[in-house]
Structure 1
Amino acid sequence: MSRLLYSCTMSLDGFIAGPGGDMSWLTSHLGPNPTVDRLIPRIGALLVGNRTFGGDDPHRGTEREGKAFGGGWEGPQFVLTNRPPERPIPGVTFVTDLRQAVDGAKAAAGEKYVNVLGARTARGCVEAGLLDEILVFVAPVLLGDGVRLFEHPGGTNVRLERMDVAQTPQATSLWFRVVR
């Protein structure tokens, strides 16, 4: 059965995007990463928040712009949004309900991961008890402001169990299982 994995790169001070969703900070931290290389073939579908889907791209201005994992992955994408576009986009399914989006992405992923992209979407999956794992690449940079990895006004306590830790010159990866 497919599992939901929230993966992203985060600054040391806890931001996955800069102010206004700026992703340009990430460009200098992209590079060879064995953890990413092992993960990509294990992803069967993406579950993406609308802000992430239509947002800034660290590959802006290159041939890799607009492609999942900079073109390293292709497959079905499910975008969670309140306003689906009028025109369909090949390979992308727009869904207005989180559970329907998760169910569709899991069905499409088969035995592989559904990779969750976007802080709000990941938070919704946590709150609904649907998220299984979290993979964070901690980049050696402080952003000071932006979109947090996980933010829950009023607080919450989500217990995690460490599965793996690895290091490259660009980032340290921390892989956790969500404890239920």
Structure 2
Amino acid sequence: MAKMLYAATMSLDGFIAGHGGDMSWLKPYFGPNPDMDDLVHRIGALLVGRRTFEGDDPNKGTENEGAFGGAWDGPTFVLTHQVPAEPVPSVVFMDDLERAVAAAKEAAGDKYVNILGANTARACLDAGLPDEVLVCVAPVLLGDGTRLFERPGGDNVRLERTSLTHGPLATNIWTRVLP
């Protein structure tokens, strides 16, 4: 059965996107990262929020455009309130979290469903769905943007660190979500 994973690169001050959804801040931190390089082969499906799906890609217009620097080629499920009229190859738009997760898990088989997008991740965490969280911490302070996880007035999500690795461009913290 597929596991749910929230994986993201984050600035040291907790942002996964800069002001206005800007993702260009990531470019200096692209490069060798064994954890992330290996991860793409362990993912069976993506569960993506609409804003992330339509958002800023720092590799737009290059051979590296798309998820995981263009290395992702598989089923993508986009959670949205507005399903587009025109289909997108290999992308399924859904308006219900529970159904989208079920479809993504089925498509992923025994691999991960990787959650992309802060709002989608928060909805999944609120529903108790993720099994693991992987954060690649880049040595930069953005000062503003989209936080990795924000739940004003909310309760904690308890995590247990399972691995900590240091790469040349980021520190990777892999955790398991505790009940």
Please indicate, yes or no, whether the TM-score normalized by the shorter chain is above 0.5: yes
Residue 60 of structure 1: how far off its partner (Å) = 2.5
Q: How many residues align?
A: 179
Deviation by residue 1:122-177 (Cα, 9 ceiling, x = unmatched)? 00000001111100000000000000000002132110010111111110000000
Gaps of 5+ in 1: none
User: What is the aligned partner in structure 2 of residue 141 from structure 1?
Assistant: 140
SS of residue matched to 1:156:
coil
User: What is the aligned partner in structure 2 of residue 26 from structure 1?
Assistant: 26
Deviation by residue 1:5-57 (Cα, 9 ceiling, x = unmatched)? 00000000000000100000001111011001221111000000000000001
User: What is the aligned partner in structure 2 of residue 124 from structure 1?
Assistant: 123
CA RMSD for the aligned pairs?
Answer: 0.8
Aligned-residue sequence identity (percent) comes to: 65
Mapped partners of 2:69, 2:75: distance in 1: 15
Deviation by residue 1:76-135 (Cα, 9 ceiling, x = unmatched)? 000000001101111000000011110000000000000000000000000001111100
Mapped partners of 2:60, 2:19: distance in 1: 17
User: What is the aligned partner in structure 1 of residue 103 from structure 2?
Assistant: 104
Mapped partners of 2:136, 2:61: distance in 1: 24
Please report the TM-score for the alignment, with normalisation by the length of structure 2.
0.98
Mapped partners of 1:8, 1:20: distance in 2: 17
Gaps of 5+ in 2: none
Please report the TM-score for the alignment, with normalisation by the length of structure 1.
0.97
Which segments of structure 1 move beyond 4 Å, counting only runs of 4 or more?
none
